[in-house]
Amino acid sequence: MEGKEKIEFLVTGLRSMGYWKSFDGHNPNVDKIYQIIQNDLISISGHAQYFADEIERERETVQYLPPNVGPRVSYDTDRNRLFDVLAHLPSPETVRVLGNYLDDERDLALVPPHKPGAIDVTGGSPANAALAATALTQMGIRNPPVGKREYISDFREPASRWKAWYEEVKTGKRPFSFVGQKVEYRFKPDGTLDTLAMANPPDDAPKPPPTRDRAKEQPATGPNPPSRTVWPWIIGGTLAVLIAAVWLRLQFWKPNR
């Protein structure tokens, strides 16, 4: 399994594990498999450009269609999905791809009459610049210009703040790093990249979820089903086992020649 087929397979696993990671008390195997898949995707040369190329390829087929027709709605859905995937790939290549989208006001769904200049996300999707800014905010960049929990009513504002940040990054004036990593990156004006070890990196790697003491939990009795808080653990564990099995098969299976 190579090329597009491998990337799409890994993305399916990454998005599944990312979803289950969002639940408190999820199975620790979810974190391990998520990290394995994430690292494998980032190790592929051109991993971020692949998704940018997909966005542009799909856009070519719908760019002259009006909003809210079937193919255009499908494109907006895919566009949101692809930017969301990029948010899960903390790498210099992803920063460059997203940074280059911060000027892109195409595919904008405008404007509620009661608030001139704002973006009406109920009538479609925001511009690519806003989606790129959202992905950068979610990626885990240290000391970002926009925080994950910061509420901003106009989607143009985070794009503007990230654009100012990226202008310094792409010219080499500002280094950047990712939460949990012990290196920082600096782009050179010629487009190449320096990777530098950090002398005193912060201890900010994501902590594993607390271990559950099942011996102290009240066992279910009678015909009552497990509570909804238990389902994420059960389903997440099942998914982790399934993804792990497929992953191992992918790593060791060789096609017949």
Q: Is residue 212 in some structural domain? A: no
Together in a domain, 62 and 152: yes
In our burial notation (b when 16+ CB lie closer than 10 A, e otherwise), range 57-96 reads ebbeebeeeeeeeeebeebbeebeebbbbbbbbbbbbbbb
Q: Is residue 160 in some structural domain? A: yes
Question: Two tokens at 21?
Answer: 């990671």
Together in a domain, 134 and 38: no
Together in a domain, 91 and 27: no
Q: Which residue range is the domain that position 172 belongs to?
A: 45-198
Together in a domain, 133 and 144: yes
Beta bridge partner(s), residue 178: 141
Together in a domain, 244 and 194: no
Instruction: Return d(Cα 114, Cα 108) in angstroms, integer.
Output: 17
Specify the pLDDT at position 123: 47
Together in a domain, 15 and 58: no
DSSP code for 116:
T
Together in a domain, 86 and 159: yes
Instruction: Return d(Cα 49, Cα 98) in angstroms, integer.
Output: 9
Task: Find out whether 110 and 119 touch, Cβ atoms under 8 Å.
Answer: yes
Instruction: Return d(Cα 58, Cα 71) in angstroms, integer.
Output: 10
Specify the pLDDT at position 27: 81
Domain boundary among 179, 198, 217: 198
Together in a domain, 71 and 35: no
- Segment 26-80, tens digit of pLDDT: 788 888 889 999 999 999 999 999 999 999 999 999 888 877 788 888 888 899 9
Q: Is residue 224 in some structural domain? A: no
For residue 190, what are the CA distances in angstroms to 170, 172, 186, 223?
A: 9, 10, 12, 67
Place of tokens 């989607």: 155
Burial class (CB within 10 angstroms; exposed 0-12, middle 13-18, buried 19+) of 247 = middle
Task: Find out whether 229 and 235 touch, Cβ atoms under 8 Å.
Answer: no
Domain boundary among 154, 176, 198: 198
Q: Is residue 9 in some structural domain? A: yes
Instruction: Return d(Cα 220, Cα 227) in angstroms, integer.
Output: 9
Q: Is residue 206 in some structural domain? A: no
The pTM of this model reads 0.76
Question: Two tokens at 176?
Answer: 């950047």
Instruction: Return d(Cα 196, Cα 172) in angstroms, integer.
Output: 13
The structural domain count of the chain equals 2
Together in a domain, 161 and 244: no
Instruction: Return d(Cα 94, Cα 141) in angstroms, integer.
Output: 11
Residues of the chain with pLDDT under 50: 110-123, 226-231, 233-234, 252-257
Together in a domain, 86 and 178: yes
Instruction: Return d(Cα 31, Cα 205) in angstroms, integer.
Output: 12
Instruction: Return d(Cα 153, Cα 119) in angstroms, integer.
Output: 9
Place of tokens 């990337």: 7
Beta bridge partner(s), residue 185: 176, 195
Q: Is residue 220 in some structural domain? A: no
Specify the pLDDT at position 233: 47
Together in a domain, 141 and 252: no
Q: Is residue 40 in some structural domain? A: yes
Q: Is residue 215 in some structural domain? A: no
Together in a domain, 90 and 146: yes
Q: How many C-beta atoms lie closer than 10 Å to residue 148's C-beta?
A: 10
SS3 label, residue 106: coil
